[in-house]
Amino acid sequence: MERQRPPIATLLPATLLGAFLALALLVGPGASTAAAAGCPGSDAGPRKISNETAARAIVCLVNKERRRHGLGRLKFHGELERAARGHTKRMQKRDCFDHVCPGERSLVGRYEKADYLPCRCSWGAGENIAWGAGRKGSPRRIVNAWMHSPPHRANILRGSFQHAGVGVRWGSPTRRGANAGTYTLDFGYKR
């Protein structure tokens, strides 16, 4: 016996509803708003909060994502914070949005300069960078963008990472005077 196909009029609304729900999950408030709860400054746009508050909000939001996935929290690490701040400053100063700007050391070189490395241990390093103008420059929007980007998401959810340092500066690495926020999130572990 041959199965009858449902008429197109039945399939189309179901397909459209499915597409709408998928889109709502991607851009809707859902998990992002829930993740932002309890992270002061997470919804503030550029220049509305201090750089330090924005940096703490980034780590708070990242830790909420890690907790949702059964991972341990990242701890602020002063040396990584120094490396991240230096890179964020360099990106803006050099009009460069990249992991290595002209005249700058590699990620490992920046970790060495900040005294996170070398060590007589096993270690790992990773970095996420982002910038956003207006409301897209809030810590919540930045973390949400990272979570929707496979390589950035992989850094956030890498179980071996233990430490984090965040560099935040108001302004854009590519447009002078923009109402924007530029972020560097450096990850590491040492064992």
pLDDT in tens, the chain (191 residues): 333 333 433 333 333 333 332 222 333 343 444 455 799 999 998 889 999 999 999 999 999 999 999 999 999 999 999 999 999 999 999 999 999 999 999 999 999 999 999 999 999 999 999 999 999 999 999 999 999 999 999 999 999 999 999 999 999 998 776 789 999 999 999 99
| Burial of 149 per CB tally in 10 Å (0-12, 13-18, 19+) | middle
In 3D, which of 188, 40, 26, 24 has the Cα closest to residue 114? 188
- Contact present, 172 and 178 (Cβ < 8 Å): yes
DSSP run (H or E) holding 67: helix 51-68
For the chain, report the end-to-end CA distance as a whole number of angstroms.
64
Cα gap 34→23, rounded to integer Å: 18
Q: Which of 168, 167, 164, 166 shows the shortest CA–CA distance to 188?
A: 164
- Token pair for 122: 């096993």
Residues 6+ apart with CB under 8 A from 16: none
User: What CATH number matches the domain at 44-190, 3.40.33.10, 3.30.1330.10, 3.30.470.10, 3.40.50.2300?
Assistant: 3.40.33.10
The CA distance from 186 to 137, in Å, is 18
Compute φ and ψ for 155, nearest 5 degrees: -65, -45
Stated pTM of the model: 0.80
| Three-state DSSP class for residue 128 | strand
Q: Closest Cα partner for 74 from 143, 164, 191, 147?
A: 164
